Amino acid sequence: MALEVIMPKAGVDMTEGQIVQWNKKVGEFVKEGEILLEIMTDKVSMELEAEEDGYLIAILKGDGETVPVTEVIGYLGEEGENIPTTVAASDASSTPTATTTSNDDNKSDDAYDIVVIGGGPAGYVAAIKAAQLGGKIALVEKSELGGTCLNRGCIPTKTYLHNAEIIESLAHAANRGIIIENPNFTVNMDKVLETKNKVVNTLVGGVAGLLRSYGVDVYKGIGTITKDKNVLVNGAELLETKKIILAGGSKVSKINVPGMESSLVMTSDDILDMKEVPESLVIIGGGVVGIELGQAFMTFGSKVTVVEMMNRIVPAMDAEVSKNLRLILDRKGMTILTETKLEEIVEENGKLRIKVAGKEDIIADKALLSIGRVPDLEGIGEVDFELDRGRIKVNEYMETSVSGIYAPGDINGTKMLAHAAFRMGEVAAENALKGNHVVAKLNLTPAAIYTLPEVAAVGLTEEQAREKYDIAIGEFNFAANGRAIASDAAQGFVKVIADKKYGEVLGVHIIGPAAAELINEASTIIEMEITVEEMLKTIHGHPTFSEVMYEAFADVLGMAIHAPKKK
């Protein structure tokens, strides 16, 4: 029986390869292990060997052709053997594919090309991108432009964490010869809030200005989709449109625990408007948001206790990084209870009694519910979408199950990060306006935690990589980096995970100074399929934190210069 020769998947992110040349002609005999052809990806050339003895009985794709991975490009078999007359069809995608029926024919000339529902990262970026491409665009936002990230999430949280960074630097000032006569400090929350609001308002105004500059019509109100696929604003004003981008974002997730309705239990929306620093704060959930806000309020002076059901905090991160972050936060005074189930919250005498399974009750002034977010489906209106556990199901083009409607960002639950939403918004806009099939590649989206020190990651964790690959790991500590030592920032490390055979970079994980900035170099390396050896041909400035990245890559090969020789 003829043996298929396929375009191999030679990398985690490889989707296609180009045939450079066939080294054999049809009818020639090939021995097992002999080179059949040469192929090339974006950056890597490789030779494809024959898997067994046989004759090259067919070449389906010729020199210079670009072919998707796993597609059949030729056949090996017995001399004179015919190739199969049929090829099995590939499995149908499990993601929704919108019908190709156009919705444009029923719309008037005055209709918008696209109406975007939601002005968060996915929505406002989609609106701007579509306008850049020449579309007549409207955007409907029920609250403030910028969405959760800008108004109640990433940006205000970073203002608090920068304050925490300033406070921590005061503690080290005397060691560096900077004598502060009165080392005591107080946190004026009125001023903290004023600064936070100023930052937020500046950026919200910036988004509004961008939308104006591109001629996007902005409507304030709740946008919902009608049966005929137009958009109704506040149940009154109808916006006729050819396509819709539903970017409703997400809202705080709730849990059904007795006492959760207490006014002393806050969400991430509430805590960023709190006008006092609580003496004690319990954080329910040890994910990214909870740990970041715990870091901020612990530094402001609160006694912080984190209650987490999983066996470690920030469980999506690499286990080694999670463990080291916990050790650092422990030393700073944060109490972390993992594998701990919340059972009840009781409000008594102006405080909270937090009851947890198998442990003593925790008494606190306030509690923060921080267990994640769920899609906000308010805008779906009269249209029935295919859902997956409360999330609008989309394909790689951001198409929903309903023709002409796209759903980028948190509302699809694929990757709940603002920068992922930016990309999804751009993809949705181009595909909706131009009818293209641009793919939103999200598997290499970097993630960061803005604790002190920062944490960041991209690609596979060590645990994930070991399931699929024979791996090599390189690590380098900031404690051996001149810039870090000079900056009192010598905690943490960079960890590089690579495929041992080909040197392909599978994941990079950082805990240390400027981790959220450094991780973008790693993202580029993995996206461009740069191998460990190729990365080591670059020169990194000195003294910089980025040298730790270089040394960690070198350590994959056991060649880190500023590390002792391995035995």
Q: Which helix (DSSP H) or strand (DSSP E) does residue 541 occupy?
A: none
Q: Which of 162, 509, 542, 562 is catalytic?
A: 542
Tokens of 453: 């020190």
Tokens of 399: 């198409």
Please name every residue paired with 241 in a beta bridge, in sequence order, or none if there are none.
Answer: 112
CB 548 within 8 A of CB 484: yes
In sequence order, what DSSP letters do the residues of 307-351 get, joined into one string? E-SSSSSSTTS-HHHHHHHHHHHHHHT-EEE-S--EEEEEEETTE
Q: What angle do CA 436, 439, 441 make, to 5 degrees?
A: 165
Distances (CA, A) of 466 to 356, 447, 500, 506, 555: 35, 21, 11, 10, 18
Closest by Cα among 36, 39, 34, 32 to 16: 39
Rounded Cα distance, 72 and 87, in Å: 9
Q: Are strands 342-348 and 351-356 parallel, antiparallel or unpaired?
A: antiparallel
How many C-beta neighbours within 10 Å does residue 218 have?
18
Residue bearing tokens 């964490």: 161
Is 162 an annotated catalytic residue? no
Handedness of CA 487, 489, 490, 493 (dihedral sign): negative
Tokens of 276: 């006092």
Catalytic (active-site) positions:
542
